[in-house]
Structure 1
Amino acid sequence: MTAETPKEYNLSHNEAMILEDYREQRSVFERLLGIVKNTLEESVAENKIYINAIEGRVKAEDSLVGKLERKSGKYSSLSDLTDILGVRVITFYSDEVDKIAALVSRTFEIDWENSIDKRRMHEINSFGYNSLHYICRLPKERFFDPECPQLNEIRFEVQMRTVLQHAWAVLDHDTGYKSGFEVPREYLRNLNRIAGMLELIDEQFSQIRSGINDYRRQVQSLVSSGSFDEVELNGDSFSNYLELRPFDMLNRRIASINQAEIHETSLSRFLNVFASFGFKTLGDIDRLLKRDSEDAYQLAAFQLANTDLDIINSSLGVIALCSVHVLKQGGGVLELTRFLETLNGVSTSNKHRAESLFRVSQNLAFLKK
C-alpha cells in the first residue's frame, strides 16, 4: 500500500515551498497544539476561572492553500503565518476575556506587535469577530524538548471571545460574508440588528453578574457586622447567616442534657420554614432566636428527659425554636404538622411528631402565661 500522493496546486515556487514546509512540520504543529491546550487548561483550572471551552486546530491544507492564493506574495516562509496553529478560549462573560488575556500573557511569550484587540474596532457588523487575538510562543521554562526545539520557535494564535460572540461567528460564517455569495442588503440589515442585540445581551450579562457579586459582598458585610434588619431573607443571606453558626449555643445546651454529641447537618432547608412564617429579614430570625431560645431549650429538655440519646442532630435546636414560635402564635397540632411538612415534605410521621410536640408543650410555662 503506497502513501497518498500530495495534492498539487497552482502556486508560485515560494508558496509551494511554504506548503512543503507545512507538510513536513504538520506533526510538530499537532504536538504543539496538545501542549498549548493542556497548558491553558491547567492554568485556567489553577486560577479557578470557569469557562465554556478551549478549542484548537491546526490549519487544514486546503485552508492554507486558499490563504496563500488570496494573499499571493505576502509570505516569504511558513514562519510568517501566525495562524497555522490556533487555539480559542471561550468565556461566558465579556469581562472574563480580559482575565484570560492576563493569564495567557503570563503563560506564553506574546508577540505584541502582531497581536490584535478586535474589540476596539467598533465596526457595525463586527460583534461575532470581536475576539482578542494574541500571537504567542511557548517559553522554554514552560516546556522544552531538546530533540524538538522548533516547539519553542513556532508562533501560534490564541483567540479569546465570549460564548455569544462565538455562537454568532459560527452562525454568521454560514450566512454572512464567507458564504460564497453576496448577501442581499435586507438580510445584512437584519443580521446586523441581531448582532447589535447580542452585543447588548453580552454586556448586560456581565453587568448583571457584577451587580449580583456586589450585592453578595454587601450581604456578607452586613451579616458579619450584625446588621440583620438590613438584610433581606433569601438563599444567599441565609447561607451567610448560617456561617455565623447562630444556633450552636442552643444546640450545645440541649446536647448537655444527655452529654450527647452533635451530628452536623445542613440547616439550609429551614429557609422555607422561616419564609412560611412571614419572616422578611435576617433580623426576624435573630429576634426569634433571642426571644425564644430559653423556651426552645425547655421544650427539647422535656423531649429528651426520659431518653438515653447520646447523639443529637444539629437541627434539633432549630426545630424546637420553630415549634415554640408556632405554639406562641396560637397554633396546635395542625399548625405544627404544617411546619414539619414545610421542613420535611409530606409524610404521615409529621402528624405523629406534631402530636408529641404539642403534648410535651402543655407542661411548659410559656403556654400557661
Structure 2
Amino acid sequence: MKLIDDFIKYYDPDYYQRQSQAIAEQIEDQLFRRGIKAIVTFRAKKKDRLRDKLIKRNADKHYYSKEDILEDVVDLAGVRVSLYFPSERDIIDEIITDIFNVEKKKIFPTEAHTPKHAKRFSGYWATHYRIRFSGEIREKQNRDIIAEIQVASVLMHAWSEVEHDLVYKPYSGNLSKEELSILDEINGMVLSGEIALERLQSAMAERTKRKSDITNKYELTNFLVSAFDKKHKNKIKIGDTSLLNNYLSTIKKLDTDQFIEFINDIDVSSKDSATDQLLNMLLFNYRVGLRTYFKNLGIAYHKISSCEAYILCWVKLENNVAELYFPEETERKKTAFDVLKIIQHQGRLTKGEMAALERSRKLRNDILHGVHIPSKKSLENSLSELMDLSQKVTSKFQSSSAPASS
C-alpha cells in the first residue's frame, strides 16, 4: 500500500491533462484535414479513481516500483474519439498509426473477455490503442508517456459509459437481473443504431452522386468510403482527402460518374495512398488549376510559379513515359501507374540517375502536400535538374522499341 500511496502523491493530473490534450489536438487536426466528423474528448485519470484501480490491480500484478505502475496503467492520459459513422474506423486507424507509435491495439469484442452477466447482444464494439508519442512533441518528457486512445461510434461510447459505471463500478450496489437485461436491451438498440448510421452514410453518398458534384471534404470522404469496394477495403490507405478536395474544387470539371472511373483504377498494390493516386491521375489528365491549388495550401506567392513549373515538368515526364509504355490512349489516361517503377524495370538509367529521379519524386510529393517547400532559387535549380533527367529518360526510352502493354 505504501508504494500505491507514494505513487498517488507523485502523480500529477495536470501534467497528464496537458499530454492528453496534445494527443487530442493532433487527432482533431487530422480529422479536420481528412473530412471526418467525430467528437474528440480527453482527460487525465482522477486521483481517487486511480487509487481504487491500483489497489484492485495490485492484487494480481504485485507492483514493486513506480515504473511497474507506469507500464501497467496505460490510461493516465486518455483520449476518446467518438465517430459519427462507424465505417470510418479504418481511417482513424490510419491516422493513429501514422502519427503515433502504437504499442498495442485491442479490438472489442474479444473472445478472451468474459462478461459479468449473460448477454444476448455482443456488447462493446471499439478499438483501443496503447500509444507513445511520435513526431513533433511539445514537451521532451512526452517521449516517456504512454496513453490510451479509445475509438468507437458516438452511440457505443454513450452506452459503454453507462454500462461501465453501473456494472463494473457499481457505486450504488450490484444491479438486479432485470436491470442487467435492460442494459443488454439498450446495447441491442445501439448496435441497430450503428447499422442505421451506416445506412445514413450510404444515403448521403447516393445524394452526392445524384447531384453529380462534390462540394466539400466531408462529402468527398463519405463518397470515397462508400465507393470503395472489396478490392480496396483494408488494402490501401485513404490518405489526406483535403489535398484531393483542394484540387477537385480548383478544376471544377469532374462529375461523380467520372470520379468513380478514377477510383476504380486505384492500384491497391501501390505504396501511395488512394487520395495521392487520385490526385496524380487528375493532374495527369487535367494539368490545370495548380496556381490556385498552391495558393489554397498557403504556399508563399513568390514560390507558386516555380512549384507549378516543377509539377508540370514531372507530369510531362510521366506523359512521355506513358506514351511509350502504354499503346492505348484510354489505358494511358485512366491507369494509376508509377513512373519510377516503369523506368527502374526497364533498367535504362544509371544508379546515379535513378537516385536523382527518386529525389525529384520526393520533392514533387512534398510540393503537392505543401510541406518542406525549398527556396525559389533551390526550386529553380531542382527544376533544371528534373528537365535534364526528363530528357535523358525520354531519349533512352525512344532508343528502343516500347514494350508491350503489361
In our comparison, the structure showing a higher alpha carbon Rg is: 1
- Higher RCO, Cα 8 Å, sep 6+: 2
TM-score, L = length of structure 1:
0.49
TM-score, L = length of structure 2:
0.45
